[in-house]
Amino acid sequence: LTGVPREQRAFQYLLAHAIPGDPQHVLQTFDQWCYRCEHLSCVGPIKGRIVERLLLQRAPLRVLELGTYCGYGTVLLAQGLPPGARLYTVEVNPGHAAVAEKVIRLAGFDEQMVELIVGPSEEVIPQLREKHGLLKVDFIFMDHWKRCYLRDLRLLESHQLLAQGATILADNVLFPGAPHFLQYAKTSGKYHCKVHRASLEY
């Protein structure tokens, strides 16, 4: 009714209530909005703990996020990275990317640590090495269109962007579901698979 997208409304709430430069408080304020006001398909705090645990275990230096949306997952990833790490996040929707950029900077992460790339993942991935200087990826977080998961994994493989022992974390593979991706990951012989049980966000 207001003509303001809900993602922008969520950002206005963050501006009013979140502590700038405090990524944990930015995430908590996001959660408050999503629980009390409007649902946004962010990672959320429950699945967020899985992400945090894996980052702590792996301590990746080069991270790729596919599907920035409002920047919730980006802030979650960035706050869990070791010193000197760099995060590349890809968003196809320019409107969502504009909100995400503001959220990421509000949380205190500059362009040296987090680079937001706007464009379709199938176009961005082949350009990561030459255009963005990303030679190998240690950790990939897939949270974009589920039908793109398998295509983008194969793109990462064909452009030799996966570091030895890289971790690929893919959200919502059971519901709404990414069956072809899951089948490939389990049967290709290239990956060790583990399914983390969790509820949907919020």
Residues labelled as active-site residues: 143, 146, 171-172, 201
Question: What is the three-class DSSP state of 141?
Answer: strand
Reference 151, options 132, 164, 170; nearest CA is: 170
Query: Which token pair is 24?
Result: 């944990």
Q: What is the rounded CA–CA span in Å between residue 156 and residue 4?
A: 36
- Give yes or no for a contact between 55 and 141, defined as CB atoms under 8 angstroms apart: no
Q: What is the rounded CA–CA span in Å between residue 58 and residue 114?
A: 18
Question: What is the three-class DSSP state of 63?
Answer: strand
DSSP 125: G
Q: What is the rounded CA–CA span in Å between residue 46 and residue 30?
A: 13
- Give yes or no for a contact between 124 and 141, defined as CB atoms under 8 angstroms apart: no
